[in-house]
Amino acid sequence: MRCLSEGELRAFIDVQGDDQAAAEAHVAACPACRAAADELRGNAELAAAAVGALRPARLPAAAETEAARGRLGAALLPSPAGRQQEQSRPPAAASGRRARLGSLWRPAWLPRPRGRLAAAALILVVMVGLVATPAGRGAASGFLAQFRSQRFAVVTFDPNRAEDSVAALQQLGTVSGDLAGLPSSEVASPAEASRQVGFAVSLPDAGALPSGVAREPRIHVSPTRQVRFTLQAAKVRDYLRAHGDAGTAVPPGLDGATLVVNVPAAALLEYRGADGTPRLLVGQAREVTATVEGAASVERLRAFLLDLPGLPAETVRQLRAIGDWRNTLPLPVPADLIGWRDARIAGSDGLLLSDRRGLGSAAIWQRNGRIYGVAGPLRQAELLRVAETLG
Amino acid sequence: MVWVDERAEPATGPARKFDDLFLRLYPRLHDLCRRVVGDGFEAEDVVQEAFLRLAGAPVLDRPEEEVGAWLRRVCLNLSYNRLRWERRARARLERAGRLEAGDGADPGDGPLGSVLRLEEQAAVRRALWALPERQRSCLLLRHSGYSYAEIAETCQLAVGSVGVLLARAERAFRDAYQPQDDEGAGT
């Protein structure tokens, strides 16, 4: 038999070779292969001992495995089963189920081709959650106060860590509601859009539109959505422990406190260029509002969340720096991709954002209880011309 | 709020298969991830995330060996990503070592033994992290008790190639691990 290759020798040591008997006979007779096998065996023993040191004291027991399955959520069914059950349900329930499965689980913390966008959308909700907890009135009703987005502040985040932050939120409690991007449907006319979103949708003046875009927009509307986050003391304790902090107690009253974020209905006007690609987007929505249900002091809830270990330090610093946090909507912005500055837009305070690679610009501002945004592969001056004619 | 009503549905067909797979495969997957991330809670998170992906994946219809290999691959990748995302991976790895104190250290070690064991774990993880990803997976799987066939399917290579990859991985591990040992002995 010829000498064994390194791979064959290694398999021989593990008794996983194709022909163990022949290999054994050869190694016994061949000093070179024997020496090589000895070196490999030494390396293997070192690795076995080292990786053995990582071994947990024991495998999860059956009861722990069952509990883990429970925590994964019974809502999660494999898609074939989901489809079968949908077919046997009334259409309304079926579509509701699909929406829940799709939007609750997948975009929330699973990377997908569009995962970064979904994560960014969710980060928005997370950030609102962190700041939208004012204390105050109406304790008897369970409503502690309301947050209103009257102005904006940029909060930077590292897009590479976005999914990490989302997972962190899931570690602190339960999140429910529609966490996906923006489910939207197309409508035929501005009047229909106004009817669906519940306010008069404003169209920019035709004369302000950039040259080369279609005069008639395609119009999409997305419905009101609500996202609820309920803090769970048991999960927070696990989270703290996992971050090396077993000493901090969860303040009384925070367990079960539920943050309710109302994402308003929105209308999106899409103006296309001659080649059919979107050139100008105009979005309008009512304000984002948030309330807290439960017995907790909301200021304490906010302080507690911002104090948690494991949150990105720079993001937390920026959130703390927002003075009027009851009325400020933090806009999560990936700092490496997007630049921004405060600006007066259409007579209101707003933000101008631009893609650092020069791909496009966006403006966002608020006036009279509406959030407006315009965006496109355009110069800022072109966007501002459009902005001046809205509202 | 919308999860509650879903819980009442009895698992049937593919859902039942999913549950069975979870109950059978979870313990060893958890063990594997735990070796990488160093923390039981995080390991659970990783395995659950892998199963969430499985729920929507065509591979669920494949034979169990293939599903198992797929899950191991996803679990390892997710575990690596978690460590990679940390800006200071090294600090994280050391913390992962300390975190073992709660439920990873052998209570029979005594306090001094626990500390030594945790330091050793951190050193092992640092050395593993120095390996190319495929070598790292191969070495981890082999010394977590997986066969060459299982490793081949997980790492998506021919069974005949496992030996050479493993030999390279173990040599690279030795080179990365032993200098740390020497440093430790000198201080």
A356-380 pLDDT, tens digit each: 666 677 888 888 878 888 888 878 8
Q: Contacts of residue B162 in chain A, CB cutoff 8 Å?
A: 7, 11, 16
Residues A47 and A174 in one domain: no
Domain annotation covers residue A76: no
* B85, B127, B168 ranked by CB distance to A164: nearest: B85
User: What pLDDT score does B161 carry?
Assistant: 94
A15's CB contacts (< 8 A; 6+ apart) are: none
Domain annotation covers residue A96: no
User: What pLDDT score does B70 carry?
Assistant: 95
User: What pLDDT score does A11 carry?
Assistant: 94
**Is residue A128's pLDDT more than 60?**
no
Of all residues in chain A, what percent carry a pLDDT higher than 90?
A: 16
What's the pLDDT band for A48 if we cut at 50, 70, 90? Answer: very high
| Average pLDDT of chain A to the nearest whole number | 71
Would strands A225-231 and A258-263 be described as parallel, antiparallel, or unpaired? Answer: antiparallel
Domain annotation covers residue A206: yes
Residues A246 and A364 in one domain: yes
**Is residue A81's pLDDT more than 60?**
no
From B176's Cα to the closest Cα of chain A, the distance in A is 11
Using a CB–CB cutoff of 8 Å, tell me whether A53 touches chain B. yes
Residues A157 and A251 in one domain: yes
What's the pLDDT band for A184 if we cut at 50, 70, 90? Answer: low
From B161's Cα to the closest Cα of chain A, the distance in A is 7
Using a CB–CB cutoff of 8 Å, tell me whether B74 touches chain A. no
More confident residue, A386 or A88: A386
User: What pLDDT score does A132 carry?
Assistant: 33
Residues A248 and A323 in one domain: yes
Is the ipTM above a cut-off of 0.90? no
Using a CB–CB cutoff of 8 Å, tell me whether B45 touches chain A. yes
Domain annotation covers residue A57: no
Q: Contacts of residue A5 in chain B, CB cutoff 8 Å?
A: 163-164
Residues A322 and A340: their CA atoms lie apart, in Å, by 16
More confident residue, A160 or A305: A305
pLDDT tens per residue, range B8-24: 344 556 677 888 899 99
pLDDT tens per residue, range A244-296: 877 778 887 888 888 877 778 888 888 888 877 778 888 888 877 777 777 77
What's the pLDDT band for A350 if we cut at 50, 70, 90? Answer: confident
Using a CB–CB cutoff of 8 Å, tell me whether B53 touches chain A. yes
User: What pLDDT score does A249 carry?
Assistant: 81
Domain annotation covers residue A104: no
User: What pLDDT score does A313 carry?
Assistant: 74
User: What pLDDT score does A33 carry?
Assistant: 95
Residues A42 and A167 in one domain: no
What structural domains and CATH numbers belong to chain B? 7-85 (1.10.1740), 130-187 (1.10.10)
Residues in chain B: 187
Structural domain that includes position A199: 111-388
More confident residue, B136 or A91: B136
Using a CB–CB cutoff of 8 Å, tell me whether B177 touches chain A. yes
Domain annotation covers residue A281: yes
Residues A252 and A134 in one domain: yes
Find, in chain B, the residue whose alpha carbon is nearest to that of A237: B41
Six-digit token string for B3: 């999860």
Residues A199 and A298 in one domain: yes
Contact: B125, A54; criterion CB under 8 Å: yes
User: What string of pLDDT tens digits covers the 187 residues of chain B?
Assistant: 122 222 234 455 667 788 889 999 999 999 999 999 888 888 888 898 899 888 878 888 888 899 999 999 999 999 998 877 654 555 555 555 554 444 444 444 444 555 666 778 888 988 999 999 999 999 999 999 999 999 999 999 999 999 999 999 999 999 999 864 444 444 3
Residues A115 and A121: their CA atoms lie apart, in Å, by 10
Domain annotation covers residue A325: yes
Q: Contacts of residue B173 in chain A, CB cutoff 8 Å?
A: 43, 46-47, 50
Residues B104 and B97: their CA atoms lie apart, in Å, by 9
Of all residues in chain A, what percent carry a pLDDT higher than 70?
A: 68
**Is residue A111's pLDDT more than 90?**
no
Residues A165 and A41 in one domain: no
Q: Contacts of residue B23 in chain A, CB cutoff 8 Å?
A: 62, 65-66, 69
User: What pLDDT score does B131 carry?
Assistant: 94
Find, in chain B, the residue whose alpha carbon is nearest to that of A56: B104
Question: Please, which residues 64-123 of chain A have a Cβ atom closer than 8 Å to chain B?
Answer: 65-66, 68-69, 71-81, 84-85, 100, 104-106, 109-110
**Is residue A123's pLDDT more than 80?**
no
More confident residue, A332 or B125: B125
What's the pLDDT band for A319 if we cut at 50, 70, 90? Answer: confident
Q: What are phi and psi of A269, to 5 degrees?
A: -95, 130
Question: How many Å is the maximal CA-CA distance in chain B?
Answer: 61
Q: Which residues of B116-146 are buried (b: 16+ CB within 10 A; e: fewer)?
A: ebbebbbbbbbbbbebeeebbbbbbbbbbeb
Using a CB–CB cutoff of 8 Å, tell me whether B158 touches chain A. no
The structure's pTM equals 0.44
Residues A294 and A189 in one domain: yes
* B13, B85, B121 ranked by CB distance to A161: nearest: B85
Residues A249 and A342: their CA atoms lie apart, in Å, by 40
Domain annotation covers residue A314: yes
Give how many domains chain A has, as a whole number.
2
pLDDT tens per residue, range A198-253: 999 999 999 999 988 888 998 988 788 777 888 888 988 888 888 787 777 888 78
Question: Please, which residues 108-137 of chain B have a Cβ atom closer than 8 Å to chain A?
Answer: 117, 120-121, 124-125, 127-128
More confident residue, A105 or A359: A359
Torsion from C-alpha of B107, B108, B113, B116, nearest 10 degrees:
-60
User: What pLDDT score does A334 carry?
Assistant: 66
Cβ proximity of A259 and A229 under 8 Å: yes
* B40, B48, B165 ranked by CB distance to A72: nearest: B48
Angle at A151 between CA A298 and CA A360, to 5 degrees: 125
From B68's Cα to the closest Cα of chain A, the distance in A is 16
From B69's Cα to the closest Cα of chain A, the distance in A is 18
The distance from CA A50 to its chain's CA centroid, rounded to whole angstroms, is: 37
User: What pLDDT score does A147 carry?
Assistant: 45
